Each structure stands twice: as structure tokens, then as C-alpha cells.
Amino acid sequence: MEVKPRKDADRVVTRKTPPYSPQTSKDTQEKEGMLPERAEEAKLKAKYPSLGQKPGGSDFLMKRLQKGQKYFDSGDYNMAKAKMKNKQLPSAGPDKNLVTGDHIPTPQDLPQRKSSLVTSKLAG
């Protein structure tokens, strides 16, 4: 007796994601989305050639941990002022979040302390 092989149509397929979403599995989604995502990556690399290979590295996360807090050490500031005398203090530069080397935040770089507290407009 000839045994017919089972056809794919005979197999029961369990649905993993809702049918309305054309990206029914992450693989398909990744493949379809790969072109735009890679194109976007190429755009970014073209604009910023010095961008590191892996964004998930520790520099990136360290920035996240510091979350844009401003550092101001009055001791450093005054010592730098005394050293420089008449010369200008190095200004904050484009990236105010970095605290490295000679970069010393100046009072102008610091965010202003908030004024007196007012009732929320949601309660108005």
C-alpha cells in the first residue's frame, strides 16, 4: 500500500501572534524591517563616523546612570580661577555632561534653582 506523505496543509498550526499583525513572527518582522533599520544605521554612521560599534557598551550606560546631572565643585572652580588669573576659564563646551580633565562647570552652566513652588494647574 502506498503511504502518502503528510502535506504541510494537514499540519495544525498554532497561532502565536494575533492575525491582524502582518509581522506574525519576530523573524519575518526582522527581515521586513531590516532594510529600513539598516538604512537608518547607515545614515547615522554617515553623520557621526566616530560612533562606536556597540551602543550598549559601558560608556553609553554610564551616561544614562549620570543622567545629565551637573557637577559643580566650588573648590575646583576657585582653584582654577586662581590659576588662570586673567585668562578665561574653559567653558563647558558642547557636552556639558562630561566631567573630564580641565573641563570645569561654571556657575553659568548650572541649571537655575527653581523659584517658589506654585499649585499645579491640574487643580485649577
Partner 1 sequence: MAGAGGGGCPAGGNDLQWCFSQVKGAVDEDVAEADVISTVEFSHSGDLLATGDKGGRVVIFQREQENKSRPHSRGEYNVYSTFQSHEPEFDYLKSLEIEEKINKIRWLPQQGAARFLLSTNDKTIKLWKISERDKRAEGYNLKDEDGRLRDPLRITALRVPILKPMDLMVEASPRRVFANAHTYHINSISVNSDHETYLSADDLRINLWHLEITDRSFNIVDIKPANMEELTEVITAAEFHPHQCNVLVYSSSKGTIRLCDMRSSALCDRHSKFFEEPEDPSSRSFFSEIISSVSDVKFSHSGRYMMTRDYLSVKVWDLNMESRPVETHQVHEYLRSKLCSLYENDCIFDKFECCWNGSDSAIMTGSYNNFFRMFDRTTWRDVTLEASRENSKPRASLKPRRVCAGGKRKKDEVSVDSLDFSKKILHTAWHPVENIIAVAATNNLYIFQDKAN
Smallest separation (angstroms) from partner 1 to the CB of 95: 14
* Sign of the C-alpha dihedral computed for residues 78, 83, 86 and 90 taken in this order: negative
Smallest separation (angstroms) from partner 1 to the CB of 12: 17
**Dihedrals φ, ψ of 77, to 5°?**
-60, -45
Smallest separation (angstroms) from partner 1 to the CB of 14: 10
Q: Are 39 and 46 in contact (CB under 8 A)?
A: no
Smallest separation (angstroms) from partner 1 to the CB of 80: 15
Residue partners of 72: CB distance under 8 A and separation at least 6: 105, 107, 110
Question: Between 55 and 90, whose beta carbon lies closer to partner 1?
Answer: 55
Q: Is 104 exposed, middle or buried (0-12, 13-18, 19+ CB in 10 A)?
A: buried
Question: Between 40 and 81, whose beta carbon lies closer to partner 1?
Answer: 40
Q: Which residues bind partner 1 (CB under 8 A)?
A: 16-23, 26-27, 29-31, 33-34, 36-41, 43-45, 47, 51, 54-58, 61-62, 64-65, 67, 69-73, 110-111, 113-114, 117-124
